[in-house]
Amino acid sequence: MLDQRLIAEAQKVRYFLALTIGLGVGAGILTVLQAGFFARVINRVFLEGQSLDQVMIWLMLLLGVISLRAGLAWLSEVFAYRTAGRIKEDLRRRLLAHLFVLGPVFVRGERTGELVNVMGEGVEALEAYFARYLPQLALAALVPLLILGFVFPLDLFSGLIMLVTAPLIPLFMILIGRWADTLSQKQWEALSRMSAHFLDVLQGLTTLKLFGRSKTQAEIIARVSDGFRATTLGVLRVAFLSALVLELLSTISTAVVAVALGLRLVYGHISFEQAFFLLLLAPEFYLPLRMLGTQFHAGAAGVSAAQRIFEILDHAPESKPSRGKKGFLPGAPFHVSFEDVHYAYEKDRLPALRGVTFEIVPGEMVALVGASGSGKSTVANLLLRFGEPDAGTIQVNHASLSQIDPEDWRRHVSFVPQHAYLLYGTIAQNICLGRPQASPEEMVGAAVLAGADDFIQKLPQGYETVVGQGGLHLSGGQVQRIAIARALLKDAGLLIFDEALTGLDQARAAQVEAALDQVRKNRSVLVIAHHFSAALRADRILVLDQGKIVETGKHKELLQKQGAYYRLITASGGAA
């Protein structure tokens, strides 16, 4: 059961893996010496009648070999788990980096619990493959051959018995391999479903309780858990069955060797020391093959988990942004323009933007309004380099945005989404996320502008209060104000507010809008507005409808036209 992608991963730590296997082979050589010394001691003491003093040198050698063998086995295990640890660390780093490349568009289309399970349990499942199965596969091929090299010169018949019976064990593993692979894949899929469902229920616990659906979800969880239990029991049944058969095969094969040796010993065709030596080697000959069978199911679980890991790593971004030139970034302030931009999401290929053209000049605040699904957030995603236009261009200071390295560009952009997220840590750490070197005075100033300082000062630990999952629970409006303070403190050349004022009351929203008036000097500001009060202060309002800009102008101008903007205002109950 060799997976080519996993073997390629093992190549990256081939020296550690080779050392692990080499130590195992060394332990195998010592096994032969141990059997030889033990056979000699028994022969000389019980058959030749020598005293313990006469065999003391052999006893000391035997003790030394046993100690050295234990040491090599321990070192082999240490390096095996170090090998697996390095591969797991590399895969987790690559998975996380690739998820950043795929961006929020991909993550929103996946179940969070399933992704968390892949990053956690999925990567951990590879430990058994790299630390136990893969080294044991090599030892199962090398150690029996090594032992045969000692057996054949001493007794051809015993060597032939071992040579003929040894293939029965891998043959049996091949026969059950496909069955075990299928069951392991089903077990992994069941675990992923269960993990995703548990997280869904935890995240929606309040909603479930309010709508009286908690019992229904409990029943669903019970069914999902029962499905996982059933698949796990299926895997265990195969594991127990294979362990029984492998043990039976190795025991019968050892017994055949023992009977053959006993008969020839009776008739004087072999010495006792040789016969006992070969008898001690027989179970050691089959042990690596039996251990391979034991680790086979752990390896199958690793392969099943790896399939999903590599699916994510192989998943191409919906749009593949050009990497651009590192360090090439036009100086702020930024003049941003969309020129006949078209874009469609890969999953449905329905056009999200169709020929969008507009510009934002430095110091200007532009509001983007439209019905849900009109393409407003897609504009923000393209500006954040989470995708690349299918046609048309986005310009920054008359240079194509695709020519700018995404990481460099994002350092100069502040973004506040509709539902902000606080990382686990202090409020100060969250506000300073985009500008860690900011002074305490600058941090507090940003919080004041965002209307967050008043409630933060009332907290027992103030700005050192721990928030995020596991920390102090804040209201949605408080979280949003901290996120706005974070965006303002970053001092970026482009500010994007994606319906960021939705969670604020009217007074707080007005305070933030006034703050934007203060900080927009030498900055470009794009406000994606759901509540039209946010559009009142804008220098220009762009009305999106089904991916097209259908109207442009100021609030009063657009109302007088009584077109798309007027209909949006009317439909919202005159929110303006």
Task: Give the model confidence (pLDDT) of 259-311 as tens digits.
Answer: 999 999 998 889 999 999 999 999 999 999 888 888 887 788 888 889 889 99
Higher pLDDT, 389 or 202: 389
User: Are 117 and 25 within one domain?
Assistant: yes
Higher pLDDT, 71 or 227: 71
- Average pLDDT of span 116-139: 90
**Strands 548-553, 399-400: pairing kind:** unpaired
pLDDT of residue 503: 64
User: Are 405 and 546 within one domain?
Assistant: yes
pLDDT band at residue 172, thresholds of 50, 70 and 90? confident
Evaluate if residue 520 carries a pLDDT over 80: no
Give the rounded distance of the alpha carbon of 425 from its chain centre: 22
121-125, 179-183, 249-253, 380-384: segment of lowest average pLDDT? 179-183
510, part of any domain: yes
Q: What is the mean pLDDT of the chain?
A: 86
| 39, 276 Cβ separation under 8 angstroms | yes
Evaluate if residue 498 carries a pLDDT over 70: yes
76-80, 294-298, 381-385, 390-394: segment of lowest average pLDDT? 294-298
Nearest to 216 by CA among 228, 232, 204, 230: 204
pLDDT of residue 184: 81
- Average pLDDT of span 528-545: 82
Evaluate if residue 514 carries a pLDDT over 80: no
> Cα separation of 109 and 567, whole Å?
32
pLDDT band at residue 108, thresholds of 50, 70 and 90? confident
147-156, 359-368, 525-534: segment of lowest average pLDDT? 525-534
327, part of any domain: no
430: burial class by Cβ within 10 Å (0-12, 13-18, 19+)?
buried
80, part of any domain: yes
Give the rounded distance of the alpha carbon of 548 from its chain centre: 38
- Residue 460, SS3 per DSSP: coil
Percent of the chain with pLDDT over 70: 93
Tokens at residue 372, please? 């849900």
| 365, 534 Cβ separation under 8 angstroms | no
User: Are 435 and 536 within one domain?
Assistant: yes
Our count of domains for the chain comes to: 2
329, part of any domain: no
Residues 6+ apart with CB under 8 A from 91: 9, 123, 126, 309
pLDDT band at residue 325, thresholds of 50, 70 and 90? low
> Domain end: 314, 348, 366, which one?
314
pLDDT of residue 212: 77
Nearest to 254 by CA among 158, 148, 143: 158
In tens, the pLDDT along 136-168 reads 999 999 999 999 999 999 999 999 999 999 888
Tokens at residue 488, please? 């303002």
Evaluate if residue 320 carries a pLDDT over 60: no
CA distances from 160 to 190, 277, 365, 446, 498 (A): 46, 16, 87, 82, 76
pLDDT of residue 117: 84
Give the rounded distance of the alpha carbon of 137 from its chain centre: 27
pLDDT of residue 447: 93
φ and ψ at residue 70, rounded to 5 degrees: -65, -40
pLDDT band at residue 336, thresholds of 50, 70 and 90? very high
Give the rounded distance of the alpha carbon of 8 from its chain centre: 18
pLDDT band at residue 502, thresholds of 50, 70 and 90? low
pLDDT of residue 326: 56
In tens, the pLDDT along 430-487 reads 999 999 999 999 999 999 988 899 999 999 899 999 987 655 678 888 888 899 999 9
> Domain end: 247, 279, 314, which one?
314
User: Are 141 and 239 within one domain?
Assistant: yes
331, part of any domain: no
User: Are 215 and 252 within one domain?
Assistant: yes
Domain with residue 343: its CATH number is 3.40.50.300
Evaluate if residue 327 carries a pLDDT over 60: no
Tokens at residue 271, please? 């010495």
Q: Bridge partners of 552? A: 542
User: Are 383 and 303 within one domain?
Assistant: no
pLDDT of residue 417: 86
Higher pLDDT, 109 or 162: 162
φ and ψ at residue 2, rounded to 5 degrees: -105, 125
User: Are 364 and 303 within one domain?
Assistant: no
pLDDT band at residue 245, thresholds of 50, 70 and 90? confident
| 397, 334 Cβ separation under 8 angstroms | yes
User: Are 97 and 218 within one domain?
Assistant: yes
User: Are 344 and 469 within one domain?
Assistant: yes
pLDDT band at residue 575, thresholds of 50, 70 and 90? very low
511, part of any domain: yes
User: Are 366 and 230 within one domain?
Assistant: no
User: Are 393 and 262 within one domain?
Assistant: no
Angle subtended by helix axes 56-108 and 14-42, to nearest 10: 150
326, part of any domain: no
540: burial class by Cβ within 10 Å (0-12, 13-18, 19+)?
buried
Residue 53 belongs to domain spanning: 4-314
322, part of any domain: no
Plot region of 483 (φ>0 → left; ψ -120 to 50 → alpha; else → beta) = alpha
DSSP states of 361-416 as a string?
-TT-EEEEEESTTSSHHHHHHHHTTSS--SEEEEEETTEEGGGB-HHHHHTTEEEE
492-526: burial string, b at 16+ Cβ within 10 Å, e else: bbbbbbbbbbbbbeeebbbbbbebbeebbeebbbb
Give the rounded distance of the alpha carbon of 265 from its chain centre: 60
User: Are 290 and 418 within one domain?
Assistant: no
pLDDT band at residue 576, thresholds of 50, 70 and 90? very low
pTM for the predicted model, two decimal places? 0.75
Higher pLDDT, 1 or 135: 135
In tens, the pLDDT along 174-204 reads 777 777 778 888 888 888 888 887 877 877 7
Tokens at residue 409, please? 């560009």
Domain with residue 187: its CATH number is 1.20.1560.10
